[in-house]
Amino acid sequence: MTTLTTTQRERLAVAVHEAGHAVIGALHGATVSGLRVLSVVDSEGRNGFCSYKPFSGPVGAYWGRILAAGPMAEAVFRYGPQFNSGQLAALLDARHTDRDELARLAFSHGGMTVPSTEVLPLLTRCWSSVAELATRLYTHGSATHRDVLDALGVPGTSVQQHHAAAIRSGAVPGSFTVRTG
Ligand SMILES: [Zn+2]
């Protein structure tokens, strides 16, 4: 592996962050409509984003997990899976759109903050998929929902729920493959 410059490493951190949102989102039934890493910070102060088609059915119930997945993936990338709460809090402060939305959810759901215990095992299990998608984002600057499914080794949208359920429940992969990039 070649050594990355600081600029390259920061771009990769953003790519991992957005890939974390996208992978965990897809596993909970979300369809990604936009997935980008930006070379120049946009008018909203973002250096990347992951957007979704309007949620239907139960996806909205998992919004907190999808929000948390970005900063948590970034924390794993920067500090390893044993990152501490202070490191995560600093990342949430740096990318405050996630933090603000999580705070809004916490208010409306009575005390829920960052759903780490639900998200971290999933992220760890799917880390090779997150890494593959992040590499694509880093290289191309954007990715599609199809790319997210490809990174997860899910062959078609019609079986998405089946695969997502298998991965979420912790089933040992066998009916699907997770490629390592
Ligand atoms: Zn985010």
Residue 14, in any domain of the structure: yes
pLDDT of residue 181: 43
Residues measured by CB to lie within 5 Å of ligand 1, the ion: 70, 98
Residue 98, in any domain of the structure: yes
Distance 16 CA to ligand 1 centre (A): 10
Q: Which domain holds residue 71?
A: 6-168
Distance 95 CA to ligand 1 centre (A): 6
pLDDT of residue 93: 87
Number of domains in the chain: 1
Cα separation, 11 vs 171, whole angstroms: 33
| Closest CA relative to residue 130, chosen from 180, 173, 88 | 180
Residue 88, in any domain of the structure: yes
What is this structure's pTM?
0.86
pLDDT of residue 173: 38
Residue 175, in any domain of the structure: no
pLDDT of residue 34: 95
Distance 155 CA to ligand 1 centre (A): 26
Residue 37, in any domain of the structure: yes
Residue 174, in any domain of the structure: no
Averaged pLDDT, groups of 10, the chain, 181 residues long: 85 96 91 94 88 81 90 95 91 87 76 73 91 96 94 69 70 43 43
Residue 181, in any domain of the structure: no
Element (H, E) at 101: helix 96-108
Distance 94 CA to ligand 1 centre (A): 10
Distance 141 CA to ligand 1 centre (A): 16
pLDDT of residue 172: 42
pLDDT of residue 61: 81
Distance 99 CA to ligand 1 centre (A): 8
Distance 98 CA to ligand 1 centre (A): 5
Distance 105 CA to ligand 1 centre (A): 15
pLDDT of residue 161: 63
Residue 118, in any domain of the structure: yes
Distance 109 CA to ligand 1 centre (A): 20
